[in-house]
């Protein structure tokens, strides 16, 4: 029998002490609720400080954290059903311990019920909440004695509430998606966003061909298949080692990138020798693609306001053998910072957004984002495009992209920008220029991918041509 729990104590773990994966998961969930940091940031920081008794424990932390975030509403519905204390009055740590325990009971077949319950009781003691361990024990045991969810709201009478509970999404998202896509497609969208995504990579054509990369990946992973839409995409599952330890990764043969994001690089269509600004470059997913399309010739200024990200971007370009990228810390909301940037043939504005198109990768978005955030994000997106417009050369392209499916961040941003800048127009020649994106481009020239229809992340993109 595998032992899951550790003796109770309240000390903080150190690098020398082996950590309990459930305690690490609890720490990540609690930290996420406290601050404004993203799941990736919080998880990277927590995992860098710990070591585990068994290799698979690290994967268990990820399964627990992502699972609880994916299914939070569904889990809370059961907790409310069995508890006399309302959720709002529950100690946040106890609530997360209950969610972790219930997630294991409901969703993880490989963990026996007694192990899930006992480890949750231990966790409450470790967290200094021993006085509530009886409550944790009782609630989790009750849920196993009455298995299955308590009856959810009636789908015919109240589809919004029913889907909030059964698909675990906030009310405002379900409401707006039903209004836009109808009930059937909203169900499909929610189901898609609740799946664990496969690993999709973009082959770095500067160093290797897709067949070569696929052959290498097949030695270290299962289900290696070519992409369906992007010509240099390859997907796989169940890697035997972490992706960054794979042979092809070390050789700089690929970057991890969903197919929809790859199509944005193609939409930007930079040419060898051009001057290109990647205005919100982040860790360089799209920068690497632009450099590959430019055959590593010309110049890419990779800008972001976050210097730490740009440091990682620089390392990533070295791994990929890319030499035409210059990282620059710039804030796109401060036009003075751009004054010396000059003109560019292509400007890619892959703007910060709500991220509703990538919720399967970032399930914390469900609980972090509010509907009011959309207006703030829209304001920033319009301001960034307006600030960047002066830096596009005549005949050049400003490409706006977001991993959001929300109209406020899609069509509305473009319309507002075009009112301010009549010297730009939507480039309607996209389909002819870039065949790979033709199937995703509608009449005015808007590129859109819908997760449940196309089997990839949800993205919006448009090419705006200056004095075209």
Ligand X SMILES: C[S@@+](CC[C@H](N)C(=O)[O-])C[C@H]1O[C@@H](n2cnc3c(N)ncnc32)[C@H](O)[C@@H]1O
The residues annotated with a catalytic role in the active site are: 403
Among 306, 371, 423, 433, binds ligand X (CB under 6 A): 306
Closer of 214 and 283 to ligand X (Cβ)? 283
Looking at 125-133, 176-184, 281-289, 417-425, which segment touches ligand X (CB under 6 A)? 281-289
Rule CB under 6 A: say whether 438 interacts with ligand X.
no
> Considering the complex, what minimum distance in angstroms separates the CB of residue 69 from ligand X?
19
Rule CB under 6 A: say whether 305 interacts with ligand X.
yes
Rule CB under 6 A: say whether 396 interacts with ligand X.
no
Closest CA to 367 of 105, 49, 87: 87
Number of residues in contact with ligand X under rule CB under 6 A: 16
> Considering the complex, what minimum distance in angstroms separates the CB of residue 329 from ligand X?
9
Closer of 38 and 296 to ligand X (Cβ)? 38
Q: Nearest 5 degrees, angle CA 285-CA 263-CA 274? A: 70
DSSP state for residue 456 in the 8-state scheme: S
In the range 216-275, which residues lie near ligand X by CB under 6 A? 261
**CA torsion through residues 299, 209, 234, 441, sign:** positive
Element (H, E) at 251: none
Rule CB under 6 A: say whether 282 interacts with ligand X.
yes
Burial class, 296, CB count within 10 angstroms (exposed 0-12 / middle 13-18 / buried 19+)? middle
> Considering the complex, what minimum distance in angstroms separates the CB of residue 348 from ligand X?
7
Rule CB under 6 A: say whether 301 interacts with ligand X.
no
Closer of 350 and 364 to ligand X (Cβ)? 350
Query: In terms of DSSP H, where are the helices of 19-112?
Result: 21-34, 39-48, 56-70, 72-82, 92-107
Rule CB under 6 A: say whether 377 interacts with ligand X.
no
- Is 304 one of the annotated binding-site residues? yes
Closest CA to 72 of 90, 96, 94, 93: 96
Among 121, 203, 291, 332, binds ligand X (CB under 6 A): 332
Furthest CA-CA distance within the chain: 70
Rule CB under 6 A: say whether 333 interacts with ligand X.
yes
Closest CA to 257 of 194, 308, 213: 213
Among 91, 331, 411, 433, binds ligand X (CB under 6 A): 331
- Please state, in angstroms and rounded to a whole number, the distance separating the CA atoms of residues 465 and 468: 5
Q: How far is CA 150 from CA 255, 266, 330, in A?
A: 44, 48, 51
Rule CB under 6 A: say whether 399 interacts with ligand X.
no
Among 102, 136, 280, 405, binds ligand X (CB under 6 A): 280
Element (H, E) at 210: helix 210-220
Q: Do 210 and 234 touch, CB atoms closer than 8 A?
A: yes
> Considering the complex, what minimum distance in angstroms separates the CB of residue 286 from ligand X?
4
β strands within 154-311, DSSP E: 199-203, 222-226, 233-237, 254-256, 275-278, 299-304
- Please state, in angstroms and rounded to a whole number, the distance separating the CA atoms of residues 192 and 465: 34
> Considering the complex, what minimum distance in angstroms separates the CB of residue 81 from ligand X?
38
Rule CB under 6 A: say whether 457 interacts with ligand X.
no
Looking at 45-53, 153-161, 276-284, 368-376, which segment touches ligand X (CB under 6 A)? 276-284
In the range 345-374, which residues lie near ligand X by CB under 6 A? 350, 352
DSSP 3-state helix, strand, coil percentages of the chain (rounded to 5)?
50, 15, 35
Secondary structure class of 134 (helix, strand, coil): helix
- Is 364 one of the annotated binding-site residues? no
Closer of 122 and 258 to ligand X (Cβ)? 258
- Is 109 one of the annotated binding-site residues? no
Query: What is the separation of C-alpha 134 from the centre of its chain, rounded to a whole number of angstroms?
Result: 37
Rule CB under 6 A: say whether 304 interacts with ligand X.
yes
Rule CB under 6 A: say whether 283 interacts with ligand X.
yes
- Phi, psi of 277, deg, nearest 5: -110, 120
> Considering the complex, what minimum distance in angstroms separates the CB of residue 352 from ligand X?
4
> Considering the complex, what minimum distance in angstroms separates the CB of residue 300 from ligand X?
12
| β-strands 299-304, 325-329 pairing | parallel
Closer of 185 and 380 to ligand X (Cβ)? 380
Looking at 85-93, 167-175, 179-187, 330-338, which segment touches ligand X (CB under 6 A)? 330-338
Q: Binding site membership for S-adenosyl-L-methionine: which residues? A: 304, 331, 350
Binding site for ligand X (CB under 6 A): 261, 280-283, 285-286, 304-306, 309, 331-333, 350, 352
Q: Binding site membership: which residues? A: 304, 331, 350
């Amino acid at each position: 029998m595998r032992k899951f729990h550790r003796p109770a104590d309240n000390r903080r773990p150190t690098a020398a002490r082996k950590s309990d994966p459930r305690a690490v998961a609890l720490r990540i969930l609690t930290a996420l609720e406290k601050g404004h940091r993203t799941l990736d940031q919080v998880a990277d920081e927590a995992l860098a400080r710990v070591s585990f008794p068994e290799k698979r424990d690290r994967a268990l932390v990820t399964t627990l954290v992502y699972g609880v975030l994916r299914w939070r509403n569904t889990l809370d519905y059961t907790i409310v059903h069995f508890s006399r204390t309302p959720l709002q009055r529950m100690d946040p740590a106890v609530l997360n311990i209950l969610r972790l325990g219930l997630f294991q009971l409901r969703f993880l077949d490989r963990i026996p019920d007694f192990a899930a319950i006992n480890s949750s009781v231990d966790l409450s003691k470790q967290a200094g909440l021993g006085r509530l361990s009886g409550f944790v024990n009782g609630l989790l045991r009750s849920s196993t004695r009455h298995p299955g969810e308590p009856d959810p709201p009636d789908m015919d009478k109240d589809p919004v509430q029913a889907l909030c509970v059964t698909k675990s999404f906030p009310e405002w998202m379900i409401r707006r998606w039903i209004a836009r896509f109808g009930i059937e497609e909203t169900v499909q969208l929610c189901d898609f966003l609740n799946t664990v995504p496969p690993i999709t990579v973009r082959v770095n054509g500067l160093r290797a061909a897709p067949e070569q990369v696929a052959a290498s990946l097949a030695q270290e992973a299962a289900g290696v298949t070519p992409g369906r839409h992007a010509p240099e995409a390859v997907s796989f599952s169940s890697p035997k080692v972490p992706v960054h330890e794979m042979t092809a990764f070390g050789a700089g043969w690929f970057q991890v990138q969903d197919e929809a994001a790859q199509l944005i690089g193609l939409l930007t269509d930079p040419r060898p020798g051009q001057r290109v600004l990647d205005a919100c470059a982040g860790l360089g997913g799209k920068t690497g693609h632009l450099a590959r399309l430019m055959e590593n010739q010309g110049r890419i200024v990779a800008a972001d306001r976050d210097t730490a990200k740009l440091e990682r971007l620089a390392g990533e370009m070295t791994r990929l053998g890319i030499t035409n990228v210059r990282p620059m810390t710039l804030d796109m909301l401060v036009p003075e910072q751009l004054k010396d940037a000059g003109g560019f043939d292509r400007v890619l504005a892959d703007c910060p957004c709500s991220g509703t198109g990538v919720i399967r990768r970032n399930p914390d978005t469900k609980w972090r984002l509010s509907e009011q955030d959309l207006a703030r994000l829209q304001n920033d997106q319009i301001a960034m495009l307006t600030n960047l417009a002066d830096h596009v050369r005549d005949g050049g392209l400003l490409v706006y992209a977001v991993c959001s499916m929300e109209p406020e961040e899609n069509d509305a941003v473009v319309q507002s920008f075009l009112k301010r800048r009549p010297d730009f127009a939507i480039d309607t020649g996209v389909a002819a220029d870039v065949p790979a994106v033709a199937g995703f481009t509608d009449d005015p020239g808007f590129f859109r991918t819908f997760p449940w229809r196309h089997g990839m992340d949800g993205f919006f993109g448009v090419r705006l041509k200056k004095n075209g």
